[in-house]
């Protein structure tokens, strides 16, 4: 299609580039993950990416869409990688395949494909797996670095361990030295989370994502976690622990920021992130699941259109007291 | 200048690849005069100019060849001497790609200027008053040279105190460098123009905003403005769209132009440096705007540069001056790549708002490609300098939910293109907004039309209802009247020696006029019978009266047309009168008149009374059921005359024997009726002989032209008078049956006036 009207300048940005920026930003986290927990994660990623791309191609074909632009946009790639990172590295192969199937079909293409999905596809796949196959989905290995020659063993994650032990009426100070806990959060996981944070910084610098969602999410989590921690530091984990445990950093920078399903106005994004942060803490602390990012993200995906509607920015030249439509 | 001005900046915006250095390497070249200049009559916002020259005229440089038409309009001047070879629609550089009227001048190569300019050059601008300056700027045809082309004189008459003049030298669009070079090379003229404008709008301060990538221009302007403390050159960051009026104001003052407002609301006026220079040339040198600086650039141009070119110069001429094309251009744009528009051909002329001609090589601009779906990344929102939600507006515009797009402040969009420029899905967002705006505009236009139609329809319904109600009331009155008259009526018989030539043939005809004429003839012809089937009380009253008085009756008129019936009634009356006079048969003028139904009805009633009196000896009768005021008025007028003549010829008729009771409830109408009755009575008393009168021509004026009717009426009057003078007859001589069926009130009023006068004239003639 010939450009009919201005602007005529070539555009450098592209959907593919946005997605590839996300992949680049994920790289440090993936590397640390593989180093600390073994190559299983890489196998999962490859399997997930292949499954997602295959499903994407098949569905595009069925829907009579052009294959090339949509396969090259790397969006299926990102979905696959994110899902693979959310699944335990020791999970059986069919877990990955089933998860990818739900993510791509139920999470994305039933709504019309790229750009039309109201929910984060990777989280749809993840939640289906978590609810349907809780055994496989909660069997996390202990940290087993590449340089460690002993066999890997499975063990509770930090979040899981803290939850269980607190229910057994132990205090946080008592369990501080337990195996699943590291320097300031989950053993091993704290470094992966730091690597995700690094990648998030890269995306902020590249302006692939805006600051409102990650900052809002971390702030929301800090506010509620900080309040309870200040109230009783022996029964409630610190904000720092929550930041670097579980999927907080992955969620803050890579999952909640999925543009298609997130809020889009600046204030809407902030509230969106803030709400996810708080809800995640609530699910972690009082809910039945060890982590809550996926549920919180999906629940706030539902709210995104409403947030956008009521949190519109004030436009140039409009009086400050004038209510928005 | 000494003060450091605090900059505020604007939100959003982009850093672009400016590519201005392509065209800034050479100074502005004065372009020679092309063989032909094509001057569109509409190069400015507002009404197109009106040509004042003809094809074949010789014109001189600086001569006004088309005048401003209306307030928001500007004249057009000849850019060189030559012959006007055509005044016709030609393709013009406009986004629509349409043609518009142009004056084409074949240059004679002499480039001869007017011997004396159309106004005086001013040595001392401070000696001129503001109105003179505005007038001269207008006569010079100066419009904003930045792009919008708004007539500059209007901005010189703000009608509102102006604190600061802002000169927009930001020139933020890629490729364009005409303002930059103009500021660098003609800084003194720009400063001169600024001083003229400051003087005119009585502003105390001028800020010249220039982006920091134009160091020569900054230096030149600073030097030129050094002597004037009021003028400050402010260097602003290079960021698109810094040159947007709203953005530059925000950067310089921190203020925001109100949504739907003007900079003037903030006490600001913004002008382009080129415009300031044009104002200077117009005032100081008495030069109309016949040339401007144009950037000719793009990778498809051999030597991109700026030209000071005559307005109307074909673009191709300038491209050839710049060395021609290096490669067949991929796209040809007017303006920059962010807000300019594509041109179909390079044969179009440059106009006052042409700042840049951009001919690009393949691959230089956006490739042809399909857009990807929106991924709601929000990059557009970040880039938007207005802080709109481009993405949401896009979804609504795409879904044709234009009202929702509008509620997201679509009309605050300045179409700068930032959103589309950053969209990773390459969606042509601005195109969607333009389309949505156009759709909304046309919808609003449709709505206005529909509203007007609905109002008309409602007014019509109200009128019909009013008339129905009036009819109902009249019916009730008539019933009462009928009862009364039946009690008193004793049918009197008399034979009418009238010529029989008439016809019932026309009855049933669809044309009311035809029916009226036919009916009238029939009645006149002999002694038609009265068979009243009418609804109208007045008409029925008349008919009843006639019937009573009438001797000879035969003939059933049952037309539905009120006019026709009224005429028929009137004719009948007249016939009766004539018959009674037993002399000659004459017809009379019967101008139509009625301003008001009630008046008409009352008059008719009064006449009817008289006619009844007159007919005491005679016998015509008519079926009248006029519900048309005009018709009734006609009837009334005729009745009056008839009554008068009847009275005149039969003085024996008792004046007091009005069996007809006036049923008009309008006092005015009754008064008129009474007055007429009196007059008629007097006339009757005076006249006693009854010689025959000539019968002047009968005008069957069925046309709706009031003038025609008036003329007819006038003729009738004159004829009446003449007849009266020639033969002292009791018969008023004027004979014109003007059947009127207009609904023009003016016409009716005129006719009414005529009718009254005619009646009076007739009445006062002693022959009656």
> What architecture is the B29-342 domain classified under in CATH?
3-Layer(aba) Sandwich (3.40)
Chain B residues with CB under 8 Å of A266 CB are 381
The residues spanned by each domain of chain A are 15-138, 158-308
Chain B residues with CB under 8 Å of A115 CB are 372-376, 425
Region A221-231: mean pLDDT is 96
Of A62-76, A178-192, B79-93, B648-662, where does the model show the most confidence? Answer: B79-93
Contact B414, B385 (CB under 8 A): yes
pLDDT value of position B748: 59
Identify the CA nearest to B732 among candidates B706, B749, B750, B755. Answer: B755
The CA distance from B538 to B530, in Å, is 15
> Chain B contact for A4, CB < 8 A?
yes
Rounded alpha-carbon distances, angstroms, from residue B520 to A276, B256, B507, B571: 94, 77, 11, 5
The two three-digit tokens of residue B208, written as one number = 């010249």
* Residue A259 distance to chain B (closest CA, Å): 5
Q: Using one digit for the tens of pLDDT, what is the confidence trace for B321-343? A: 999 999 999 999 999 999 999 99
pLDDT value of position A302: 95
- Closest CB from A8, A13, A260 relative to B422: A13
pLDDT value of position B231: 95
* Residue A41 distance to chain B (closest CA, Å): 28
Q: Considering chain B, what percentage of its residues have pLDDT values greater than 70? A: 63
* Residue B38 distance to chain A (closest CA, Å): 25
pLDDT value of position B727: 44
Output phi, psi for A149, to 5 deg.
-90, -10
Q: Using one digit for the tens of pLDDT, what is the confidence trace for A233-263? A: 888 999 999 999 889 999 999 999 999 999 9
Region B404-423: mean pLDDT is 93
Give the confidence band of B767 by pLDDT, cuts at 50, 70, 90. Answer: very low
Mark B606-635 as b/e (b = at least 16 C-beta within 10 Å).
bbbbbbbbbbbbbbbbbbbbbbbbbbbbbb
* Minimum mean pLDDT range among B242-246, B712-716, B730-734: B730-734
- Asked whether the beta carbons of residue A318 and residue B409 sit closer than 8 angstroms, the reply is yes
* Residue A60 distance to chain B (closest CA, Å): 14
pLDDT value of position B306: 96
Residue of A nearest to B373 (CA): A115
pLDDT value of position B572: 53
- Closest CB from A7, A114, A269 relative to B373: A114
pLDDT at B580 over 60: no
Chain B residues with CB under 8 Å of A269 CB are 378
Higher-pLDDT residue of B546 and B423 is B423
Region B607-611: mean pLDDT is 56
pLDDT at B707 over 60: no
Chain B residues with CB under 8 Å of A312 CB are 389, 408
Contact B20, B358 (CB under 8 A): no
- Asked whether the beta carbons of residue B337 and residue A6 sit closer than 8 angstroms, the reply is yes
Every domain of chain B with CATH number 3.40.50.11540 lies at 29-342
Reported ipTM: the value is: 0.89
- Those residues whose C-beta lies under 8 Å from the C-beta of residue B204, and which sit 6 or more positions away, are B163, B164, B198, B230
Region A26-33: mean pLDDT is 95
Rounded to the nearest 5 degrees, what angle is found at the Cα of A72, between the Cα atoms of A68 and A75? 125
> If you count residue pairs, one on A and one on B, with CB atoms under 8 Å apart, how many are there?
159
* C-alpha dihedral sign at B649, B655, B661, B667: positive
| Average pLDDT value for chain A | 90
Helices A75-86 and A40-62, axial angle in degrees (round to 10): 140
Region B653-675: mean pLDDT is 46
Q: Using one digit for the tens of pLDDT, what is the confidence trace for A125-151? A: 999 999 999 988 988 888 878 777 776
Region B360-372: mean pLDDT is 87
Q: Using one digit for the tens of pLDDT, what is the confidence trace for B31-73? A: 999 999 999 999 988 899 999 999 999 999 999 999 999 999 9
Residue of B nearest to A2 (CA): B368
- Closest CB from A1, A4, A269 relative to B370: A1
Give the helix, strand, coil percentages of chain A, each rounded to 5: 60, 0, 35
| Average pLDDT value for chain B | 76
pLDDT at B631 over 80: no
Q: Considering chain B, what percentage of its residues have pLDDT values greater than 90? A: 54
pLDDT at B1 over 90: no
Q: Using one digit for the tens of pLDDT, what is the confidence trace for B234-245? A: 999 999 999 999
* Residue A1 distance to chain B (closest CA, Å): 5
> Chain B contact for A168, CB < 8 A?
no
- Closest CB from B375, B391, B431 relative to A15: B375
pLDDT value of position A23: 95
């Amino acid at each position: 299609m010939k450009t009919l009207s201005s602007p005529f300048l070539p555009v450098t940005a592209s959907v593919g580039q946005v997605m590839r920026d996300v992949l680049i930003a994920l790289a440090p986290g993936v590397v640390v993950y593989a180093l600390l927990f073994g190559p299983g994660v890489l196998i999962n990623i490859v399997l997930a990416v292949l499954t997602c791309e295959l499903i994407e191609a098949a569905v595009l074909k069925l829907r009579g869409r052009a294959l090339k632009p949509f396969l090259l946009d790397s969006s299926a790639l990102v979905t696959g990688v994110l899902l693979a990172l959310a699944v335990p590295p020791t999970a059986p192969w069919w877990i990955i395949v089933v998860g990818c199937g739900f993510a791509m079909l139920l999470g994305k293409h039933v709504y019309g494909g790229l750009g039309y999905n109201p929910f984060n596809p990777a989280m749809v796949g993840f939640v289906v797996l978590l609810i349907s196959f809780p055994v496989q989905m909660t069997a996390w290995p202990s940290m087993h670095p590449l340089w460690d020659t002993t066999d890997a063993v499975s063990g509770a994650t930090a979040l899981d361990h803290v939850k269980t032990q607190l229910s057994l009426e132990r205090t946080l100070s008592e369990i501080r030295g337990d195996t699943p806990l590291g320097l300031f959060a989950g053993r091993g996981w704290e470094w992966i989370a730091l690597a995700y944070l690094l990648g998030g910084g890269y995306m902020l610098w590249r302006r692939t994502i805006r600051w409102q969602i990650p900052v809002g999410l971390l702030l929301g989590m800090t506010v509620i976690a900080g309040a309870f921690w200040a109230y009783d530091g022996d029964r409630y984990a610190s904000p720092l622990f929550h930041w670097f445990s579980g999927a907080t950093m992955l969620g803050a920078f890579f999952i909640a920021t999925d543009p298609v399903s997130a809020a889009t106005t600046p204030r809407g994004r902030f509230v969106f992130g803030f709400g996810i942060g708080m809800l995640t803490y609530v699910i972690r602390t009082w809910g039945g699941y060890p982590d809550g990012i996926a549920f919180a993200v999906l629940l706030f995906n539902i709210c995104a259109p409403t947030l956008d509607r009521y949190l519109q920015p004030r436009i140039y030249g409009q009086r400050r007291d004038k209510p928005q439509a | 200048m000494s003060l450091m001005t605090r900059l505020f900046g604007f939100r959003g915006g982009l850093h672009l690849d400016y590519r201005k250095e392509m065209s800034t390497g050479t100074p502005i070249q004065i372009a020679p005069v092309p063989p032909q200049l094509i001057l569109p009559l509409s190069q400015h916002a507002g009404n197109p100019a009106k040509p004042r020259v003809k094809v074949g005229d010789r014109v001189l440089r600086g001569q006004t060849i088309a005048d401003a038409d209306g307030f928001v309009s500007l004249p057009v001047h000849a850019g060189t001497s030559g012959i006007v070879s055509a005044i016709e629609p030609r393709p013009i550089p406009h986004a629509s790609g349409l043609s518009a009227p142009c004056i084409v001048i074949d240059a004679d190569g002499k480039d001869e200027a007017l011997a004396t300019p159309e106004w005086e050059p001013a040595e001392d601008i401070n000696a001129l008053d503001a109105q003179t300056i505005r007038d001269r700027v207008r006569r010079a045809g100066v419009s904003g040279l930045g792009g919008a082309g708004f007539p500059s004189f209007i901005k010189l008459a703000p009608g509102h105190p102006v604190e600061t003049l802002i000169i927009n030298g930001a020139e933020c669009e890629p490729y364009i460098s005409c303002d930059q070079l103009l500021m660098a090379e003609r800084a003194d003229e720009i400063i001169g123009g600024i001083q003229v404008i400051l003087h005119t709008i009585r502003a105390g301060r001028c800020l010249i905003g220039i982006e920091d990538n134009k160091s020569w221009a900054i230096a030149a302007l600073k030097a030129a403005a050094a002597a004037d403390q009021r003028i400050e050159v402010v260097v602003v960051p290079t960021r698109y769209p810094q040159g947007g009026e709203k953005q530059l104001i925000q950067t310089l003052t921190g203020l925001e132009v109100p949504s739907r407002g003007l900079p003037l609301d903030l006490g600001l006026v913004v002008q382009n440096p080129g415009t300031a220079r044009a104002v200077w040339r117009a005032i100081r040198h008495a030069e109309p705007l016949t040339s401007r600086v144009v950037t000719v650039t793009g990778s498809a141009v051999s030597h991109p540069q700026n030209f000071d070119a005559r307005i109307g110069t074909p673009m191709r001429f300038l491209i050839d001056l710049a060395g021609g094309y290096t490669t067949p251009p991929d796209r040809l744009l007017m303006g920059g790549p962010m807000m300019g528009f594509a041109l179909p051909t390079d044969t179009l002329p440059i106009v006052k708002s042409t700042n840049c001609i951009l001919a690009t090589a393949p691959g230089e601009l956006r490739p042809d490609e399909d857009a990807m779906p929106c991924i709601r990344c929000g990059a557009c929102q970040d880039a938007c300098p207005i802080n709109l939600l481009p993405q949401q507006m896009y979804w609504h515009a795409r879904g044709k939910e234009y009202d929702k797009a509008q509620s997201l402040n679509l009309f605050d969009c300045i179409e700068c293109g930032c959103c589309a420029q950053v969209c990773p899905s390459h969606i042509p967002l601005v195109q969607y907004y333009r389309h949505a705006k156009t759709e909304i505009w046309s919808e609003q236009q449709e709505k206005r039309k529909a509203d007007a139609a609905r109002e008309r329809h409602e007014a019509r319904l109200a009128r019909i209802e009013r008339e129905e109600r009036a009819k109902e009331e009249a019916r009730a009155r008539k019933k009462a009247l009928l009862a009364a008259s039946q009690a008193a009526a004793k049918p009197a018989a008399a034979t009418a020696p009238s010529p029989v030539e008439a016809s019932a043939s026309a009855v049933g005809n669809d044309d009311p006029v035809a029916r009226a004429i036919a009916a009238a003839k029939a009645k006149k012809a002999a002694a038609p019978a009265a068979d009243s089937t009418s609804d109208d009380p007045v008409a029925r009253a008349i008919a009843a009266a006639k019937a009573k008085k009438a001797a000879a009756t035969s003939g059933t008129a049952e037309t539905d047309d009120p006019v026709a019936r009224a005429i028929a009634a009137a004719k009948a009356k007249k016939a009766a009168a004539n018959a009674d006079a037993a002399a000659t048969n004459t017809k009379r003028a019967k101008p139509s008149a009625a301003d008001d139904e009630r008046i008409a009805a009352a008059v008719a009633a009064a006449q009817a009374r008289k006619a009844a009196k007159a007919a005491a000896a005679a016998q015509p009768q008519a079926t009248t059921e006029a519900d048309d005021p005009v018709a009734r008025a006609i009837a009334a007028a005729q009745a009056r005359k008839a009554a008068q003549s009847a009275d005149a010829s039969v003085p024996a008729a008792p004046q007091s024997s009005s069996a007809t009771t006036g049923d008009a409830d309008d006092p005015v109408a009754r008064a008129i009726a009474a007055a007429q009755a009196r007059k008629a009575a007097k006339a009757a008393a005076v006249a006693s002989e009854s010689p025959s009168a000539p019968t002047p021509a009968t005008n069957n004026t069925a046309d709706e032209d009031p003038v025609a009717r008036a003329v007819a009426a006038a003729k009738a009057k004159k004829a009446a008078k003449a007849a009266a003078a020639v033969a002292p007859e009791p018969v008023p001589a004027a004979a014109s049956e003007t059947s009127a069926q207009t609904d023009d009130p003016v016409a009716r009023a005129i006719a009414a006036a005529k009718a009254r006068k005619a009646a009076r004239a007739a009445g006062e003639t002693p022959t009656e």
